[in-house]
């Protein structure tokens, strides 16, 4: 909580002024013998949205999953290199603590087969964030409010989360991630399973959320990257080709591969 109020001040700063929340140096990822990422160096500015773009199979999702060590679950996956959260090596943290500080929203909405309330209350419950029912309800309602879902679900908190529409489910998953009060939220193509209206709602939400959280979003849609992010990184075949302010990347790409991708010549 305290570092969150202080971090609020960074949101209006330009990308260059904002300090790095997450920084990686020389990240290599292997799936068995196959190398998926090559020496990725990236700084994620605090209270801004960083978009990872690139053609399918370029390693965007793999990189995203390095930040909260979700790749640990994949047996054959090996991660090398230095990944820091607030200047601390993430491998010095316990994985549970890391994931409490770095939340994640997945490509396909994956609410638990529990009630809407229990979905959002899941994180606070497992981490013991609420000491009584009132506090828990407070967290759940605030999270749903931040996720812009409260109006739609206020009267149906006991209904299953799986009964909501796709867009509502994804906002429920965002509320679920927020309820743990993380510092960073990773989003893995959060709109790819949604229709344009639901997508627009999520994009608005992302822009609001960056006031409080640092967001890294993987997206297939360059328009989406242009709309929601302040900084964009372009990956190609496992290499970080170019990273810069979103505006610069889209108007004035330095690398010809970036140019080729954003103008639609491949991807």
Q: Which of 68, 143, 219, 258 binds another protein (CB under 8 A)?
A: 68
Beta carbons within 8 Å of 162's beta carbon, 6+ residues apart: 111, 113, 169
54 is an interface residue for another protein by CB under 8 A: no
The distance of closest approach from Cβ of residue 267 to another protein in the complex, given in angstroms and rounded to an integer, is: 26
Instruction: Find the binding residues for another protein in span 227-246 (CB under 8 A).
Output: none
142 binds another protein (CB under 8 A): no
Using alpha carbons only, what angle is made at residue 160 by residues 154 and 163, rounded to the nearest 5 degrees?
Answer: 90
The nearest distance, CB 220 to another protein, in angstroms, is: 19
Q: 6: exposed, middle or buried (C-beta count within 10 Å: 0-12, 13-18, 19+)? A: exposed
CB of 49 to another protein, least distance (A): 19
Query: Site for another protein (CB under 8 A): which residue of 21, 60, 99, 210?
Result: 99
Q: Is 96 in the site for another protein (CB under 8 A)?
A: yes
User: Of 23, 28, 142, 162, which one interacts with another protein (CB under 8 A)?
Assistant: 162
Bridge partners (DSSP) listed for residue 102: 184
- If you search the block for the tokens 């206020």, which residue do you land on? 154
Q: What is the side-by-side order of every strand in the sheet holding 214-218?
A: 88-89, 77-85, 20-31, 34-45, 239-245, 231-236, 49-53, 214-218, 184-188, 102-105
**Is residue 144 at the binding interface for another protein, with CB under 8 A as the rule?**
no
Of the candidate residues 80, 97, 159, 255, the single one contacting another protein (CB under 8 A) = 97
Task: Confirm if 22 and 83 have CB atoms less than 8 A apart.
Answer: yes
Other beta carbons less than 10 A from residue 33's beta carbon: 6
Residues that bind another protein (CB under 8 A): 68, 70, 73, 75, 96-100, 103-104, 106, 108, 110-113, 122-123, 126-127, 160, 162, 173, 176-177, 180
């Amino acid at each position: 909580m305290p570092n969150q109020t202080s971090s609020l001040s960074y949101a209006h700063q330009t990308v260059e002024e904002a300090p790095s929340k997450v920084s990686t140096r020389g990240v290599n990822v292997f799936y068995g013998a196959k190398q998926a990422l090559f020496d990725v160096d990236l700084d994620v500015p605090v209270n801004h949205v960083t978009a990872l773009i690139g053609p399918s199979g370029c390693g965007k999702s793999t990189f995203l999953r390095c930040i909260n060590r979700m790749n640990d679950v994949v047996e054959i996956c090996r991660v090398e290199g230095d990944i820091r959260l607030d200047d601390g090596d993430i491998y010095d943290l316990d994985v549970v603590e890391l994931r409490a500080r770095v939340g994640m929203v997945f490509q396909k909405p994956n609410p638990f087969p529990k009630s809407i309330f229990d979905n959002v209350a899941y994180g606070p419950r497992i981490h013991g964030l609420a000491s009584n029912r009132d506090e828990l309800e407070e967290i759940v309602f605030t999270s749903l409010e931040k996720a812009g879902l409260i109006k739609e679900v206020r009267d149906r908190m006991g209904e299953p989360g799986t009964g909501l529409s796709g867009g509502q489910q994804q906002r429920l998953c965002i509320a679920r991630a927020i309820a743990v009060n993380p510092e960073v939220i990773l989003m893995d193509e959060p709109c790819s399973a949604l229709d344009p209206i639901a997508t627009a709602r999520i994009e608005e939400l992302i822009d609001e959320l960056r006031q409080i959280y640092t967001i890294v979003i993987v997206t297939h849609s360059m328009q989406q990257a242009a709309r929601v992010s302040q900084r964009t990184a372009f990956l190609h075949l496992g290499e970080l080709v170019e990273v810069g302010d979103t505006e610069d990347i889209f108007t004035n790409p330095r690398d010809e591969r970036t140019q080729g991708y954003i103008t639609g010549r491949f991807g």
